[in-house]
Amino acid sequence: MWAAAPLLLLLPLLLLLARPWRRGAARLEPAGRAVLITGCDSGFGHLLALRLHRLGFTVFAGCLCPGGDGARRLQREAGGAGRLRVLRLDVTRACDVRAAKELVLSHLPERGFWGLVNNAGISTFGETGWLPMETYEKFADVNLLGSIRTTLAFLPLLRKYKGRIVFMSSIIAYFTLGNGIYSMTKAAIEKFCDALRLEMKKFGVQVCIIQPGNYARSTKIQPPLSAEEIWSELSEEEKAVYNKEYVQERANFFNSILSEGSTNGNEVVDAMVDALTSPAPKARYMVAKLKEKALVLVCALFPTAVMDSVLSYALSK
């Protein structure tokens, strides 16, 4: 590790030289540009749709339940029809993605399609053996394949207009504390983005990843779970290994993490807006508390054994 110290010291300079800074370059003019956002029923997607609408973008807000409370509130807060359109978009359904593309194409403003924000996602808690295969398949379909499905559909438009693609990841892509299934999908989407970002450079399309810390209270992506709920879903084989007391301890631990989440989702939306409007957007935007960033740093720089010890200690508490 110490042998690599000189390289670590040089890294900020290398990044500074490599980054295409454009001092004085004007930010993007939103008027006449369209953006599609997935997962706008609530959370970051809901907030972003309203923010982009206020900035002057034409917004296509994909909602899982277009007739639900979240979608109706979004339309009401945006002031009715006009530059914000709510549409049904279940990212696991190819027919929904095709219909979304057709709607966008038929209502493109004069400057065309500027951005795709892959925000839709789900989360849950549970140790690896506690969750059935069907749950793994569902999470992969929503959090990973859903983003890929939507991206592939809109790539021709994004290449044509040299637009932006923004993906919602998480610092949980680097480590896990009881929600490995969520970490798995976020780590996978990061690698997809890394490949896509390099491939799209030749077309002038920029790809950005948003990495929030704990914003559970802002997004409501993960409701608290009771030990009874978890226990009732366990297979008989798992019940033979774990007792109710252990399940209760793990539930208490995870729920305590959820209760510490930030309620200021606009911090994350600020990063998403910058990714869409900056003349030189970052490849990654990490929006997290200092201790969360420190944990990511430990994960990136230290041997796996060190990270395992840190996380095991946290779990033991």
Residue 296 confidence (pLDDT) above 60: yes
Q: Which residue has the tokens 């990654």?
A: 284
Of 28-32, 84-88, 151-155, 306-310, the one with minimum mean pLDDT is: 306-310
Judged on CB neighbours under 10 Å (0-12, 13-18, 19+), 232 is exposed
Average pLDDT over residues 98-123: 97
Task: Note the pLDDT of residue 3.
Answer: 47
Residue 128 has pLDDT above 60, yes or no: yes
Q: What percent of the chain has pLDDT over 70?
A: 91
Q: What is the mean pLDDT of residues 111-116?
A: 98
The pLDDT tens digits of the residues spanning 211-244 come to 999 999 999 888 888 899 999 999 999 999 999 9
pLDDT band, very low/low/confident/very high, at 27 (cuts 50, 70, 90) = confident
Residue 310's pLDDT is: 82
Q: Is 164 exposed, middle or buried (0-12, 13-18, 19+ CB in 10 A)?
A: buried
* Res. 14 pLDDT band, cuts 50 70 90: very low
- Torsion angles phi and psi, residue 181, rounded to 5: -65, -35
| 16 pLDDT more than 50 | no
Query: How far separated are the first and last CA of the chain, in Å rounded?
Result: 29
Catalytic residue among 161, 174, 182, 215: 182
Strand 164-168's sheet: what is its strand order? 84-88, 58-63, 34-37, 113-118, 164-168, 206-212, 284-287
Largest CA distance in the chain: 64
Q: Report helix, strand and coil shares of the chain as percent, to nearest 5.
A: 55, 10, 30
How confident is the model at residue 11, as a pLDDT? Answer: 52
What distance in Å separates the CA atoms of residue 89 and residue 147, rounded to the nearest whole number? Answer: 12
- Report, as an integer, the average pLDDT of 72-78: 93
- For position 177, what pLDDT does the model report? 81
For residue 81, pLDDT over 70 is answered with: no
Taking a C-beta distance cutoff of 8 angstroms, is the pair 216, 222 a contact? yes
More confident residue, 174 or 3: 174
pLDDT tens digits for range 306-316: 888 888 887 77
- State yes or no: pLDDT of 42 exceeds 60: yes
Task: Encode pLDDT of 267-277 as tens digits.
Answer: 999 999 999 99
DSSP readout, 177-198?
SS-HHHHHHHHHHHHHHHHHHH
Using 50, 70 and 90 to split pLDDT, how confident is the model at 24?
low
Residue 312, pLDDT score: 84
| Superfamily (CATH H level) for 29-223+263-290 | NAD(P)-binding Rossmann-like Domain (3.40.50.720)
Closest CA to 163 of 112, 210, 209: 112
pLDDT on residue 178: 80
Q: Is the pLDDT of residue 5 over 70?
A: no
Distance (Å, whole) CA 207 – CA 283: 7
Instruction: Please indicate whether residue 285 is annotated as part of the active site.
Output: no
Name every residue whose Cβ is closer than 8 Å to that of residue 274 and which is 6 or more positions away in sequence. 281, 282, 285
Q: Are 163 and 157 in contact (CB under 8 A)?
A: yes
Alpha-carbon gap, residue 28 to 25, rounded angstroms: 9
pLDDT digits (tens, 9 = 90+) for 190-207: 999 999 999 999 999 999
Reply yes or no on whether the pLDDT at 40 is more than 70.
Answer: yes
Which residue is associated with the tokens 């007739």? 67
User: Taking 90 as the threshold, does the pLDDT of residue 37 lie above it?
Assistant: yes
Angle at 293 between CA 292 and CA 299, to 5 degrees: 95
Residue 180 has a CB neighbour count (10 Å cut-off) of 17
What's the mean per-residue pLDDT of the chain?
90
How high is the pLDDT of residue 34?
Answer: 98
Higher pLDDT, 44 or 3: 44
Matching residue, tokens 């409701």: 223
| Closest CA relative to residue 123, chosen from 168, 167, 87, 86 | 168
160 phi and psi angles, rounded to 5 deg: -60, -45
Return the number of other C-beta atoms located less than 10 Å from residue 124's C-beta: 17
